[in-house]
Amino acid sequence: MAVLPSEDILMDDTDIVDTSVFPTKTYRLDFERGRCIGMIDGLEAIKQSIFKMLSTERFKHLIYSDDYGFENLSGKERLFVQAELPRRIEEAVLQDARILAVEDISIQFQADSAIATFVCRTVYGKIEASKEVSSIV
C-alpha cells in the first residue's frame, strides 16, 4: 500500500482566483463614541481610510509604518502651509493602492487655520475629502 497516489491527478475544474484586487471590507468606526458599529466595504471603506490617514500624526505611533499618517503643519507659517499642504495630503493618502490620484486641491485660510478640500480618485470612484490644519502662524 503506497502512501502517495500513484496516478497523476488532473484538476480540470480548478478555480483561478485573481489576487490583484484585495477585498476592502473592514470595521465601520464610530469616531465620536470610539467603537465599531458594523462593517463597510468599497467606497465607504476607502473614505474611512482617508479620514484615518489624515487624522493620524505621522512618525508618532509605533504601530504604524513611517509611511502612514499626516505630517503635522501646526505652528508653521502660512506661506509654508500653502505650499506644503497639498504635497503632504498626497503623500499621506497615496500610500493606499486603492487611491489613484488626488485632484482639485483648494486651500482656504480662516484666522489661524487652513482648510484644504480635494477629491480622491479611487478604484471605486471619486471621494470628496478635507483636511484642516490649525494654529498656523
CA 24, CA 99: separation in Å to the nearest integer? 12
- 127 within a domain of the structure (yes/no): yes
- 65 within a domain of the structure (yes/no): yes
- 97 within a domain of the structure (yes/no): yes
- 8 within a domain of the structure (yes/no): no
Question: Any alpha helices (H) in 16-118, and if so which ranges?
Answer: 42-55, 78-93
- 33 within a domain of the structure (yes/no): yes
Q: Which range of residues forms the domain containing residue 43?
A: 26-133
pLDDT at 130: 98
Which pLDDT band holds residue 24 (cuts at 50, 70, 90)?
confident
Q: Is 39 helix (H, G, I), strand (E, B) or coil?
A: strand
Which pLDDT band holds residue 21 (cuts at 50, 70, 90)?
low
- 121 within a domain of the structure (yes/no): yes
CATH of the domain at 72: 3.10.450.40
- At 61, list the grid cell: 505611533
Looking at every residue in the chain, the average pLDDT score rounds to 89
* pLDDT tens, residue by residue, 68-105: 999 999 999 999 999 999 999 999 999 999 999 999 99
Number of domains present in the structure of the chain: 1
